[in-house]
């Protein structure tokens, strides 16, 4: 499982103070959260540096996983981006987030990109978090980190409720024999 918090260090190192101020000053209804902000900027950085012929508005198509023969040499990079941007897997979601990023006046002072007439990203000289672009370059070189899972402990015999893959509650009964086998296997 990919770690959804890959951007947390970037937040702590470069954005924490300015982002808290922005959150205080802006209505939440129009607000773009930090996770989406960073995902958009990483994507725009990729378009600017690795996919210069692609319009920023069309970038969402790359994230859908549809093989494109001309982009075959960049398949590894596209898969890496899909790992970081897994919450943006449709062109519609991408368009919505990009519009909010570009048009939110509150983000103007922290936004690292504008779009030109052909919808290509233009790097802006911003004083807020200037090292973020080095972090974005590093993200593109390395896959998204895997989330560490907690060790599972064997459950004692008894009746339990769990949530299935459809988020519906199900009852499960673990009998003594299964419980002892599980404990024996994990010790």
pLDDT of residue 140: 92
Q: With pLDDT > 70 as the criterion, what percentage of the chain qualifies?
A: 89
Stated pTM of the model: 0.74
pLDDT category, 2, cuts 50, 70, 90?
very low
Q: Which long-range contacts (CB under 8 A, 24 or more apart) does 42-45 make?
A: 42/81, 42/84, 42/85, 42/136, 42/139, 42/140, 43/81, 43/85, 43/88, 43/94, 44/112, 44/113, 44/121, 45/112, 45/113, 45/121, 45/133, 45/136, 45/137, 45/140
Residue 157 and residue 175 in contact, taking contact as beta carbons nearer than 8 Å: yes
pLDDT category, 167, cuts 50, 70, 90?
confident
């Amino acid at each position: 499982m990919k770690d959804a918090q890959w951007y947390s260090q970037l937040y702590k190192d470069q954005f924490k103070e300015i982002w808290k101020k922005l959150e205080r000053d802006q209505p939440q209804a129009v607000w773009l959260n930090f996770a989406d902000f960073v995902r958009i900027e990483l994507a725009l950085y990729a378009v600017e540096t690795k996919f210069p012929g692609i319009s920023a508005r069309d970038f969402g198509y790359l994230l859908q996983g549809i093989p494109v023969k001309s982009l075959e040499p960049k398949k590894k990079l596209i898969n890496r981006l899909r790992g970081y941007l897994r919450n943006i897997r449709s062109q519609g979601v991408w368009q919505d987030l990009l519009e909010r990023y570009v048009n939110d006046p509150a983000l103007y002072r922290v936004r690292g990109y504008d779009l030109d007439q052909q919808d290509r990203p233009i790097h802006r000289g911003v004083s807020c978090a200037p090292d973020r672009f080095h972090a974005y370059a590093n993200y593109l070189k390395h896959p998204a980190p895997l989330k560490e899972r907690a060790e599972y402990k064997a459950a004692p015999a008894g009746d339990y409720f769990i949530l299935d893959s459809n988020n519906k509650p199900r009852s499960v009964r673990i009998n003594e024999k299964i419980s002892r086998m599980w404990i024996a296997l994990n010790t």
